[in-house]
Amino acid sequence: MKYPAIQNYINGKFVNASVSTTMDVVSPLDGNLLSKVPMSSAKDLNTAVQAALAAFPTWSKTPIKERVQVFFRYKYLLEKNLKELAELCSEENGKTYSESVAEIEKCIELTEFATSLPQLVTGELLEVSRGVECRTEHVPLGVVASIVPFNFPAMVPNWTIPNAIALGNCMIMKPSEKVPLSCGRLAELLKEAGLPDGVFNIVHGDVEIVEAICDHPKIEAVSFVGSTKVAKIVYQRATNHYKRCLALGGAKNHLMVLPDAIPGMTAQNVAASMSGCAGQRCMAASAMIGVGNVDPIVDKICEEARKIIPGVNLGAVINKESKERIERYITEAEKDGAIILVDGRNTKVSGKENGTYVGPTVIDYVTPEMSVAREEIFGPVISIIRTNTVDEALTIENANPYGNAASVFTQNGGMARYIIDRASAGMIGVNVGVPVPREPFSFGGWNESKFGVGDITGKSSIEFWTKLKKSTIKWNAEAGVNWMS
Ligand code: NAD
């Protein structure tokens, strides 16, 4: 085992869980055992909540300009430790080193946004009648929780940590049990940056901890990022306990390619979008809808896909079950009559035989009813559906239950606008394969890709992590008299 057994992080210290059950943490890159993660109990969660509750009065009363100083230092520490953090992220998640560097750079950008919050959360003030004013202020909620998935071990935690904490809340983080190491390192950096003990806590585990978070009477808000199946469970359970909840789910993103799209640029974007992070991104292109004759573009996509080499510029998928699931989808499509143009099944990387790799896969002549067209595959696979018109393409895109992202590749501005108006997704790309809005814009999908109001990052997150206090004030207490009268 490369690293010591993982512990929870409560009140500024790493502590053992109250139970001895653990799960192995295995590197997808080579199958080596990295560590063991505790499957904590509701009792451990409660200990963390009590620590967060104790820290809240002082932290929430610390002026925001002072609170964000921690995040200026944290940003510097992320920069200083970028290489080590990126290596850890690759090791536990399986993505390539350069993808992990990009992930840590995104953490830095998210933190940079949090340092600007004092400029963005000023309240409003208006004299609503003579001598009487109304003012608003954003007030922190209290103890909040963040439940995160495996595919971005550092970035998704940082969607919530800097904003929620800079806005005055105290947090319980529940990392994915598949990639629990990066979060522990983030806790150390937050402490080094001067975050007071108890403001940020980590409780490891799986279903039991997630359920305990939803049920705990002292947790005010729950943010969740993961699959749609679990997002629904968490959203229902947390709101059933009258908590504020924002639950981001899975995705099936469609790229619509029009015949006038620039072939080289489009092919590069499609290939990068479907294969980046081994296709394990909620913003990955999963289905390409070719409108009219897109044969030259499909040829180029195959050329691009063949340049993507597992173990070199393509990472591993998270585990054996994922590899098997992805390969099953490809086999099913083949049986259903689709044509496999580039086949990533049975991939082995020499010297890393226990790694879980799937090569880039391009499947053509997929029809909308096939499972590869309908379901989230979460692997480096693109399913190409052929249509004759833009409206047919939109009908297919609109019919999918998810709504994270959709993109169009065209040189026709009017046609791009037509698709922006009609695609049923929260994030739209025009000639952009992974249309992640950068801060201060916010991240969040529609339909079954998100449950709850608002988005998780950027300006929209301010509303989620705070409640608005409205005061109506007459400073001159004398009846019938004010300074204007
Ligand atoms: P997951 O839903 O399996 O797990 C997410 C979290 O929920 C983990 O912390 C896990 O421990 C916990 N969990 C798992 N099963 C549970 C259950 N039955 N009850 C309660 N808690 C449970 O997701 P994952 O496999 O870790 O991540 C991949 C999924 O996340 C994909 O569907 C992907 O699209 C999605 N995702 C979405 C976004 C987005 O912004 N919409 C971003 C990243 C990932």
Tens of pLDDT along 136-186?
Answer: 999 999 999 999 999 999 999 999 999 999 999 999 999 999 999 999 999
The predicted model scores a pTM of 0.97
**How much is the pLDDT for 200?**
99
**How many C-alpha atoms does 295 have within 13 Å on its Cβ side?**
1
For residue 148, the CA-to-ligand 1 centroid distance in Å is 7
* Sign of the CA dihedral with 158 first, then 119, 144, and 72 last: positive
What are the structural domains of the chain? Answer: 8-250+446-470 (3.40.605.10), 253-430 (3.40.309.10)
For residue 226, the CA-to-ligand 1 centroid distance in Å is 3
Tens of pLDDT along 52-84?
Answer: 999 999 999 999 999 999 999 999 999 999 999
**How much is the pLDDT for 130?**
86
Mutate to test the pocket of ligand 1, among 151, 172, 182, 183 (most ligand atoms within 8 A of CB): 151
Low-confidence ranges of the chain (pLDDT < 50): 483, 485
**Residue 282 annotated in active site:** yes
Q: Are strands 253-257 and 244-248 parallel, antiparallel or unpaired?
A: unpaired
CA-proximal residue: ligand 1, atom 30 (nearest): 226
CA distances from 164 to 114, 115, 123, 135, 313 (A): 9, 12, 17, 23, 35
**How much is the pLDDT for 485?**
44
Distance spanning both ends of the chain, measured CA to CA: 77
